[in-house]
A and B are shown apart, each in its own frame.
Chain A
């Protein structure tokens, strides 16, 4: 984390957290720790408190995602984590090595998993009788270009039909080494979803031989859903004035 981010993180814990209080109250269970700052942005509109609507107030906005939660997580979340601790410690992997953090936000459980142990965690989640997350609803990616060292996130959504539960696994990898072991052996359903995530984000799923593009043409350069990939589009001319493409217009941030 850079210094700039640290300063922002401190400010965020006093101010920004309050702004999203209603939302956090609505869904969160358990106690909260500081938010996880992923980016600091400068913009024009949206300064709050000063009454400035000119667009030149020098807006500095902090992008902070909900940070790790502490026990008790609430409901069945504790039970699932306890079983995972038992299984991972029992297998010699160690819970602390595999699960980086647990986030409970808006009534949803997110487990941040170290990529090296993703397949093992998925296997436990699928097979253990107290977990039984037998249905995978796919993989998708999110690109946080300013989250240094953790730019690319792969997100897995699992459902347990047996227990009526659902949780999210999140794996963060650096842009410089965007590899994640494939989960197709555990969840064959993830096949096309992994191909789509490779296609759109450039995350390489290792351990499978058929990682081909699925939506874009085979010879397409770049990965379109990344934040540094332009939206495209052509400027529109109307009565002498030009309207730039959507991603190049002045934006509300």
Chain B
């Protein structure tokens, strides 16, 4: 590419011109070391990623090292950019759910919930959402939070070489994924929460199965605690590593467990409640050493708090059995509650019989609603929810049409990755892995 089209040409090209460099792309290490010694190069830049297994997905870290000490660290992202926000502008408001669920693939239900809450506020139907739909949303989000934190603990352990943490964490998450599959039909990319409610009611017997799953998850979580909390090696690796104090967190816009590890109990569920979180009894755990260890301990504690909410919501769901899970407005709600087939997708045979056999108007209405979608009054909203990784913000703009004019997701991992430099510089190379794991970035959400 020519210098004109190179957006960052002025940054790199002039600076690196004429500097002797060599690339270590394999071969015998002694040859490489000899070459480095011959050049007398003092500045060693190591590219970690984007395909490095310890960087949590396709994150690229550029480390300048002096011996084992990291003197400069920069994060490079964009390797998983898929243009989801752009795509959403060409699909209806209902179809948008199927896109945003794919952003942060470990916490899909949070994107769905935030997007739907925002859409509902644009429509002005927030107060019309059935109670049961809100309860199901809370249930799904809290289960998802546990699942996401389990992956954070599991992969964090795996990256330090503790494979057992990984196997226990993923086995525990499997219990939750089974519940998701039972309720939504899919293990990820659910598209379950829709503007106006949820796609379908939870199936019979699901409540008992969730109770059983919770028992299983708690058992695995105890195992994780037993393995982790008393482990001297883990303590040595994580304590006083990757410290980021409160002032730095505020400046860098860091939220979630990282912010709470500095002692500030900021949680959107308490600060700006949505989905009726103010009516649930739960605590916001905080610690104040602001290091990797505290973030790990906080994630374990948050799992217990989430399961405490799940216990409460299960009782409410028991009481609200049989009430609607979709808003009553027939111009927004799709006309049929689909039944899940054996393939995980579904159809309502009764509804097909009605629209194909008896009612032309119902058929037209169904067709128009599904292909054209509903119109959303012009305006913009900002909706945030407490995502496992921090504050997820959704900025939705409508021009009065059937598609979002603009949908922007402020993903917490995207923002939190800005802290990589502060967390890693001055530390050891090995600590970089711990520090990045404690941010718990998911690159699907970072790059969108």
Q: A106-B379, A138-B415, A219-B1 are in contact. Are A213 and B8 (CB under 8 A)?
A: yes
Residues from chain A with a CB closer than 8 A to the CB of B373 are 252
Report yes or no: B124 in contact with A192, Cβ–Cβ below 8 A: no
Report yes or no: A39 in contact with B83, Cβ–Cβ below 8 A: no
Residues from chain A with a CB closer than 8 A to the CB of B326 are none
Report yes or no: A215 in contact with B266, Cβ–Cβ below 8 A: no
Q: How far is the CA of A27 from the CA of B124 in the complex (A)?
A: 7
Q: A16-B400, A164-B271, A212-B11 are in contact. Are A106 and B381 (CB under 8 A)?
A: yes
Kindly report which residue of chain B lies nearest to residue A190, judged by CB atoms: B253
A155 interface residue (CB < 8 Å to B): yes
How far apart are A30's CB and chain B's nearest CB, in angstroms? 15
How far apart are B332's CB and chain A's nearest CB, in angstroms? 12
Report yes or no: B379 in contact with A166, Cβ–Cβ below 8 A: no
State which of A16, A27, A61, A196 has its C-beta within 8 Å of the C-beta of B121: A27
How far apart are A34's CB and chain B's nearest CB, in angstroms? 13
Report yes or no: A24 in contact with B124, Cβ–Cβ below 8 A: yes
Report yes or no: B400 in contact with A63, Cβ–Cβ below 8 A: yes
Q: A26-B124, A212-B11 are in contact. Are A189 and B252 (CB under 8 A)?
A: yes
Q: Count of B residues near A, CB < 8 Å?
A: 64
Residues from chain A with a CB closer than 8 A to the CB of B87 are 231, 246
B351 interface residue (CB < 8 Å to A): no
Residues from chain B with a CB closer than 8 A to the CB of A189 are 251-254, 415, 418
B264 interface residue (CB < 8 Å to A): yes
Report yes or no: B7 in contact with A19, Cβ–Cβ below 8 A: no
State which of A24, A107, A188 has its C-beta within 8 Å of the C-beta of B251: A188
Residues from chain A with a CB closer than 8 A to the CB of B414 are 192, 196
State which of B91, B266, B397 has its C-beta within 8 Å of the C-beta of A161: B266
B405 interface residue (CB < 8 Å to A): yes
Kindly report which residue of chain A lies nearest to residue B405, judged by CB atoms: A142
Encode B355-399 as 1/0 by CB contact (under 8 A) with A: 000000000000000011101111111101000000101010101
Kindly report which residue of chain B lies nearest to residue A227, judged by CB atoms: B89
Q: Which residues, 18 to 74 on A, are CB-close (under 8 Å) to B? A: 19-20, 22-27, 35, 38-39, 45-46, 61-66
- Given A65-B379, A108-B382, A159-B391, 5 other A-B residues pairs in contact with their CB atoms under 8 A: A22-B125, A63-B400, A106-B122, A166-B384, A246-B87
Q: List 20 A-B contacts (CB under 8 A).
A: A20-B377, A22-B124, A23-B122, A23-B123, A24-B377, A26-B121, A26-B125, A27-B124, A35-B378, A63-B401, A66-B379, A107-B121, A135-B255, A138-B415, A166-B384, A189-B251, A193-B410, A215-B77, A215-B447, A252-B403
What 6 A-B pairs are tightest by C-beta distance, nearest first? A189-B253, A20-B377, A26-B124, A23-B124, A219-B1, A23-B377
